[in-house]
Amino acid sequence: MPIQLPNLDDRTYDDLVEEARSLIPTYAPEWTNHNPSDPGITLIELFAYLTELLIYRLNRVTDANVVSFLKLLNGPGWQPSSDLAIDIQKTMQQLRQIDRAVTCEDFEQLALRADDRVARAECLPRRNLQMQDFETEQAGHVGVLIVPKTAFEAQLSGILATVQKDLEPRCLLTTHLHVAAAQYRKLQIATTVVPLPDVKDADLEQSVRQALKQFLAPLTTDDKPNWAFGRNVFVSEVYQLLDQFPGVDYVTQINMQADGSNRRSTTLAGAFVGIKIRPYELIANLIDADITVNIERPID
């Protein structure tokens, strides 16, 4: 739906004449003849006519004005085509494209656009990634973490260089840009599940292992973003995933550990809740050795 242009002045010829006549007693009280035959009234009507023409033009933008505006937006070398509507559409589409990196969203979108091999990008404001200290804020620094598509993981160094080269001229002055590889947190999971009676242990074990891999993976199988940067891994989520899994009757136990450490979220009572993930971290792709699935069948 086209934007409706506002009516900048809706006064008509009659309104202008009446307004001018109403001001005569204030500014010229000696002027008492207000009939159309009076020369002064004739001048008022003439000026009202000319003013109405100007108001009409005020509420309209000519094609020449539109072309002038388009030249200002596209540069002096731009030339209009035979279809002004198409020229306007193309110019507006160009204006909507991000060309400068100001916000975190700008950095992320431009990083994805800089190289087709980039699957995900995460902006870390006020972070100097060259110091390997992602926790300390430093004014004027911006970090961008890159996750390559699965097929291009071996080309990561080249991808980082390409994104750095593309983003640097788009940054604001005094901005120090750092493009680096995403940080990963290694996770190990051990779970015990009770299967339904007609489910084979080996099949269920493999299915559960695959479900956990896909659930925590940074990318989906078609290289779409999956697990979010900085999203904690809660035991309750894993319970919910496995409890609703086909072939599982119920889950009796889940244990998780990150990098052999004890960095865990705890309740006030000290109970294990989950693994803390820092804002710049993702969960590393799990392999079979990272997942232990114990099948427990109830004793009749």
* Predicted confidence (pLDDT) per residue in 90-149, tens digit: 988 888 888 889 999 999 999 999 999 999 999 999 998 887 777 888 899 999 999 999
Query: What gap in Å lies between CA 122 and CA 255, rounded to an integer?
Result: 29
Please report the pLDDT score of residue 96 as a whole number: 81
Please report the pLDDT score of residue 267 as a whole number: 46
Please report the pLDDT score of residue 269 as a whole number: 58
Query: What gap in Å lies between CA 274 and CA 189, rounded to an integer?
Result: 11
| Domains with residue ranges and CATH for the chain | 13-96 (no CATH), 104-181 (3.30.300), 185-295 (no CATH)
Higher-confidence position of 135 and 3: 135
Q: Is the pLDDT of residue 266 over 50?
A: no
Report pLDDT digits (tens) over 153-204: 999 999 999 999 999 999 999 999 999 999 999 999 999 999 998 888 888 9
pTM over 0.95: no
Tokens for 143, please give them: 């970090």
User: Which one-letter DSSP state was computed for residue 261?
Assistant: B
Higher-confidence position of 27 and 6: 27
The confidence band for 61, taking pLDDT boundaries of 50, 70 and 90, is: confident
In the chain, where does DSSP find H-type helix?
13-27, 39-58, 63-74, 84-96, 104-114, 156-167, 201-216, 235-243
Q: Is the pLDDT of residue 273 over 60?
A: yes
Among candidate residues 205, 207, 222, 227, the one with its CA nearest the CA of residue 284? 227
Q: Is the pLDDT of residue 268 over 50?
A: no
Radius of gyration over every alpha carbon of the chain, rounded to an integer in angstroms: 35
Query: What gap in Å lies between CA 276 and CA 86, rounded to an integer?
Result: 52
Question: Within 10 A of 191 (CB to CB), how many other CB atoms are there?
Answer: 22
